[in-house]
Amino acid sequence: MTAASIRAAGWGWRHAARTRPAVAGLDLRVEPGERVLLLGPSGAGKSTLLAGLAGVLGDAEDGEETGSLAVDGAHPATTRGTAGLVLQDPQANTILSRVGDDVAFGPENLRVPRAEIWARVRDALDAVGLDVDLDRSTAALSGGQRQRLALAGILAMRPGLVLLDEPTANLDPDGVVEVRDAVVRMLDGTGATLVVVEHRVDTWLPVVDRVVVLDPGGGVLADGPADAVFARHGDDLADRGVWVPGHPVSIERRDVAPGDELLRATGLVVGRDAPVRPPVDLALAGGTSTVVTGPNGAGKSTLALTMASLLPRLGGSLAASPTLAGELGPDPARWRSSALATRIGTVFQEPEHQLVGRTVREELGIGLRAVGVPRAEHAARIDALLQRLRLDRLADAHPFTLSGGEQRRLSVATVLATGPRVIVLDEPTFGQDSRTWRELVTLMADLVADGAALLSVTHDADVVRVLGTSTPSDRVVRLDAA
């Protein structure tokens, strides 16, 4: 297929359940073969626009469309195979259980003859550099491989327009470059038009022609070559949470004297079923920050969850000091859940796994009740937490309806509610805009200054810098590929 054009004239979309449109009054022209980086603060409607261009927003039952939107002169919902979309949630892009079948799925739907499908499948996998058996289980792929599989899945459809929604979020730095280069190879081969949404813009600036910034109030805030857009609007965009190159985030860190040792792992062997890496020695003291980093699949999360005594250890020992354990024995694995929550807290990668309440307020109350905080104190403690994490206006909202950044703050609040002295965070800044990032990292720095032992797992180079290398007691643990 030849490269596709995009025309939007006064286009807007309001999801059926919302009162405010996600996108409004959008005028946009993209010529065939252009490569566009689409930016905008959280809630500006970037994902909605991509879904609209892919023709998957649904019909009048799903929402209300205004103005006109056309890909290659036709409404996107009426054409198929013109646009290929890679969604934000990496799990959602994999449809079938085998690599070959998953890539073949698109061409099958486009009624490509059988003989040609397998040639396309092999070409697509070659182009994205995914050199695995066609019968390989899609469940056995790493994060980077999974994203390249998603790219191959749309490449095999030979689309004239490639739409990518945060294709490299949650990949390690090598994986990010791998996926980006796969996209470029694919576009060089087909000449297709590209629209990519990504928070971390540095990755894409070298390969795009143009930056378009959506205005949350409707329409386009800025449009043009990257240099010009950032020169004119850089400060404003940075204030609104866009990651602007040349606007490094910095967070003040106070030096604190390390406190008592709280938790020590000796020869700790971690893994879900079998060991994923050699034994680890790691000690955490109050008032210190430890950052664990390394490639996808190195066992970072597994190590963190085992340190938090949420996964059984496969060998070695984990011992809490008397300062942390109090009247309990030294092995956290033997503690009751309510005792663990007041000593070692964990912020999970997916906030949805952690949230159980029907409202934000109830969410915090549940934790307090579980660890036996007297009922009379609940209201005051909850209010203080809500204020501290800027959730006070959302106190009565359902946790699953919050935005990504709000959910992340709430999951941190649930941990703080029970007052643990060791806090483990698994990819806390993943997918956040720069404003939420700053809030989260500031909060984490404050926790260390207040005497907590922080263990953060991250791919984020800025988190490694701010929480791993700013004060003398900071530490970075680099795990290499398992």
Partner 1 sequence: MIGTRRVAPPTHLDRVNPVTPFLAAVVLSLPLLVTIDVVSASVALVLGLAGLFAAGLRPATIVRRTWPVLVAAPLSGISMLLYAQPAGRIHLRVWLAVISDDSIALAVAIVVRVLAIGVPTLAILAGVDATRLGDGLAQVLRLPARFVLAALAGIRLFGVLREDWDALAAARRARGLGDGGRIRRWLGMAFTVLVIAVRRGGRLATAMEARGFGHGERTWARESRLGLADAVLLGSAVLIVVAALGASIATGAFRLVGT
Q: Rounded to an integer, what distance in angstroms lies between the CA atom of residue 72 and that of residue 112?
A: 21
Residue tagged 């294709």 (tokens): 167
CB nearer to partner 1: give 417 or 467.
417
Report which DSSP code applies to 481: P
Question: Closest CB to partner 1 among 295 and 332?
Answer: 332
| Distance in Å, CB of 106 to partner 1, minimum | 4
CB of 163 to partner 1, least distance (A): 8
Q: How far is the CB of 40 from partner 1 (least distance, A)?
A: 21
Compose the 303-342 pattern: x for residues touching partner 1 by CB under 8 A, - for all others. Answer: --x--x-xx------------------------xxx-xxx
**Residue 147 in the binding site for partner 1 (CB under 8 A):** no
Site string for partner 1, 443-482 (x = CB under 8 A): ----------------------------------------
Q: Which residues pair with 36 in a beta bridge?
A: 195, 210
Of 20 and 336, the one with the shorter C-beta distance to partner 1 is: 336
Category of 406 on φ-ψ map: left (φ > 0), alpha (ψ -120 to 50) or beta: alpha
Whole-number Å distance between alpha carbons of 479 and 299: 8
- CB of 143 or CB of 345, closer to partner 1: 345
Q: Which stretch binds partner 1 (CB under 8 A): 152-160, 214-222, 323-331, 474-482?
A: 152-160
**C-alpha dist (Å) from residue 240 to 40, 205, 236, 244, 463:** 8, 19, 6, 10, 20
Question: 305, 316 in Cβ contact below 8 A?
Answer: no
Candidates 2, 68, 97, 266; binder of partner 1 (CB under 8 A) is: 97
The set of residues, in sequence order, having a beta carbon less than 8 Å from that of 118 and lying 6+ positions away, is 100, 104
Using CB under 8 A as the binding rule, whether residue 356 contacts partner 1 is answered as yes
For residues 458 and 262, give the distance between their C-alpha atoms in angstroms, rounded to a whole number. Answer: 22
Minimum CB separation from partner 1 for residue 265, in Å? 17
Q: Smallest distance from the beta carbon of 84 to partner 1, in angstroms?
A: 7
Residue 162 has which token pair? 């490639």
Q: What is the arrangement of strands in the sheet containing 261-269, beginning at the earlier edge strand?
A: 280-285, 261-269, 315-320
Q: Pick one of 59, 73, 131, 139: the residue that binds partner 1 (CB under 8 A).
A: 139
Q: Print the binding letters for residues 259-298 with partner 1: x by CB under 8 A, - otherwise.
A: ----------------------------------------
Task: Give the nearer residue to partner 1 in terms of CB position, either 242 or 413.
Answer: 413
Instruction: Work out the angle at residue 465's Cα, subtended by the Cα atoms of residues 463 and 467, and round it to the nearest 5 degrees.
Output: 60
Query: Buried b vs exposed e over 215-224: b needs ≥16 C-beta within 10 Å?
Result: bbebbbbbbb
Return the number of the residue (101 or 209) whose C-beta is nearest partner 1. Answer: 101
Binding of partner 1 by 352 (CB under 8 A):
yes
**Interaction with partner 1 in 60-89: which residues (CB under 8 A)?**
80-81, 83-85, 87, 89
User: Which of these segments, 90-98, 200-208, 263-271, 437-445, binds partner 1 (CB under 8 A)?
Assistant: 90-98
Q: Whose Cβ is closer to partner 1: residue 204's or residue 348's?
A: 348
At residue 29, φ and ψ (nearest 5 deg) are -125, 125
User: At what angle are helices 434-449 and 404-417 packed, to 10 degrees?
Assistant: 10
Nearest of 373, 387, 308, 303 to residue 340 by alpha carbon: 308
Please report whether residue 118 would count as binding partner 1 according to CB under 8 A.
yes
What residue has token string 């005051």?
380
Q: Are strands 475-478 and 288-293 parallel, antiparallel or unpaired?
A: parallel
Residues in 400-439 at the binding interface with partner 1, rule: CB under 8 A: 400, 414-415, 418
Burial of 113 (0-12, 13-18, 19+ CB in 10 A): exposed
CA dihedral 425, 431, 433, 438 (to 10 degrees): 10
Residue 427 DSSP code: S
Select 135 or 227, whichever has its Cβ closest to partner 1: 135
Looking at 17-25, 94-102, 185-193, 204-212, which segment touches partner 1 (CB under 8 A)?
Answer: 94-102
CA atoms within 13 A on the CB side of 38: 29
Asked if 366 interacts with partner 1 (CB under 8 A), we say yes
Size of the site for partner 1 (CB under 8 A): 68
Measured from the CB of residue 226, what is the shortest distance to partner 1 in angstroms? 27
Question: Applying CB under 8 A, does 51 fall inside the site for partner 1?
Answer: yes
**What is the token pair recorded at 479?**
């795990």
Binding mask 367-406 for partner 1 (x = CB under 8 A): x--xx----------------------------x------
Q: Minimum CB separation from partner 1 for residue 132, in Å? A: 14
State the residues that interact with partner 1 by CB under 8 A. Answer: 51, 54-56, 80-81, 83-85, 87, 89, 91-98, 100-101, 104-114, 117-118, 121, 137-139, 153-154, 157, 305, 308, 310-311, 336-338, 340-342, 344-346, 348, 350, 352-354, 356, 366-367, 370-371, 400, 414-415, 418
